[in-house]
Amino acid sequence: MEYALRTNALTKVYHGKNAVSKVTMNVGRGEIYGLIGKNGAGKTTLMKMIMGLAAPGTGTIELFGSTSLDEQRKRLGCIIESPALYPYMTALQNLENHRILLGLPDKGAPVKALQAVGLTYTGKKTVKHFSMGMKQRLSIAMALLGNPDFLVLDEPINGLDPTGIRDVRDLLLKLNKEDGITILISSHILGELYKIATCYGILNDGMLVEEFTKDELELRCRRCLKVEVDDAKQACILIEELFHTRDYDVLDGHIIRIFGQDIDSGLLNKALTGSGITVKTIQSSGEDLEGYFMERMGGTKHA
């Protein structure tokens, strides 16, 4: 598989504290990688290191299989932290300046970028008079200038109204599907991230806790009946005979998760105990996405 980004044991220390700690992650070409973490988890610091705004303490970064990062960063577009715009210029002037900086020959590129994000109506209004949502859209337009192969977006839908969020989502999905652009995106709005991302990484206290694909996530969040027993092997045989299903899995050797809507927990409990199997717990389970992420990020604490 080709990778747009690979990091190996990437670490960054600020004032004696690990802001990012030994993060090894891989973002495949054409993926939309959702980076999830609470405030202060290290998402922005990680993205800054990828974009060359902060130097890694230790560890390595590869972009498109190359360690010549400055050269490869020309293929990237980004939004890091807040919108980075010149307030005394209009939207078009900001984009025109960026076009000149990138050496793009197409003088119509700024107008096309404004059309893509729905900001063609701003005219001579300078950026200092823009709303937060307008600034965010303009930032996205700047990141898209030059047709990058890889977008690094740090909470790009902050400050957007529902229409704006939908528009950005549709735009990113379109860019990914039609142009094959790889996207690394972080957001606190997990529902939106679920609609966009094809794989996820959870960052907690600077460490990459878990990485999984969307399919794996859906599997983990399916509704099920969770049974904790002392003899899982015997219990599985009984379940197959009783409910004619093989749609289950065993965790840690003694927790059986039976998927499907029509499992009678009372019947199951009776059958298991009747066969001499001790049932420690039996409960319906199946988190929604937010619940699953909260659990992996460290319980109910919110930063």
Partner 1 sequence: MHNLIRSELYKLFHSRSFWTLLIISAVTGLIIVLIFQGMMTLTAKDSGLNRMGAGQNGFQISVSGSDAADDFNISGISLMMETFSGNLYQTLILIFTSIFTAMEFSHGTVRNTVSRGLGRGRIYLAKYLCNAAASLLFTFAAMATSFAAASVLWGTGPITGSFALTLLQTILVQLLLLAAYSGVCMFIAILFRSSGGAVALNFCLLIFLPSLLSLSGIFTGGRLQLERYWLVNCASSIASPAPDAAALCTAVISGVITLLLSVFLGVFCFKKRDI
Q: Are 27 and 182 in contact (CB under 8 A)?
A: yes
Quick count: other Cβ atoms within 10 Å of Cβ 299?
8
Among 65, 87, 191, 260, binds partner 1 (CB under 8 A): 87
Going by C-beta distance under 8 Å and a sequence separation of 6 or more, which residues neighbour residue 200?
33, 34, 35, 36, 193, 210, 211, 212, 213, 214, 217
Residues 46-75 that bind partner 1 (CB under 8 A): 48, 51-55, 69-74
Closer CB to partner 1, residue 100 or residue 189? 100
Give the total of residues touching partner 1 (CB under 8 A).
33
- Please tell me whether residue 81 binds partner 1 under the rule CB under 8 A: yes
- Please tell me whether residue 76 binds partner 1 under the rule CB under 8 A: yes
Taking CA atoms, 271 is separated from 92, 232, 257, in Å, by 71, 14, 16
Closer CB to partner 1, residue 19 or residue 225? 19
Token couple for 60 = 């390595």
Closer CB to partner 1, residue 66 or residue 300? 66
- Please tell me whether residue 84 binds partner 1 under the rule CB under 8 A: yes
Residues 261-300 that bind partner 1 (CB under 8 A): none
The distance of closest approach from Cβ of residue 181 to partner 1 in the complex, given in angstroms and rounded to an integer, is 16
Among 9, 101, 189, 219, binds partner 1 (CB under 8 A): 101
Site string for partner 1, 130-169 (x = CB under 8 A): ------------x---------------------------
Q: Look up tokens 């078009």; give the residue.
A: 92
- Please tell me whether residue 211 binds partner 1 under the rule CB under 8 A: no
Quick count: other Cβ atoms within 10 Å of Cβ 132?
12
Quick count: other Cβ atoms within 10 Å of Cβ 249?
12
- Please tell me whether residue 17 binds partner 1 under the rule CB under 8 A: no
Nearest to 50 by CA among 72, 18, 31, 21: 72
Q: Are 230 and 278 in contact (CB under 8 A)?
A: yes
Among 93, 147, 198, 234, binds partner 1 (CB under 8 A): 93
Among 11, 18, 97, 122, binds partner 1 (CB under 8 A): 97
Token couple for 269 = 């409990």
Quick count: other Cβ atoms within 10 Å of Cβ 126?
16
- Please tell me whether residue 110 binds partner 1 under the rule CB under 8 A: no
The distance of closest approach from Cβ of residue 174 to partner 1 in the complex, given in angstroms and rounded to an integer, is 23
- Please tell me whether residue 106 binds partner 1 under the rule CB under 8 A: no
Closer CB to partner 1, residue 51 or residue 238? 51
**DSSP labels, 41-55:** SSHHHHHHHHHTSS-
In the DSSP assignment, the letter for residue 103 is T
Among 38, 98, 257, 296, binds partner 1 (CB under 8 A): 98
- Orientation angle between helical segments 132-144 and 91-102, nearest 10 degrees: 20
Q: How far apart are the first and last CA of the chain?
A: 36
Can you give the binding site for partner 1, defined by CB under 8 A?
Answer: 48, 51-55, 69-74, 76, 78, 80-89, 93, 96-98, 100-103, 142
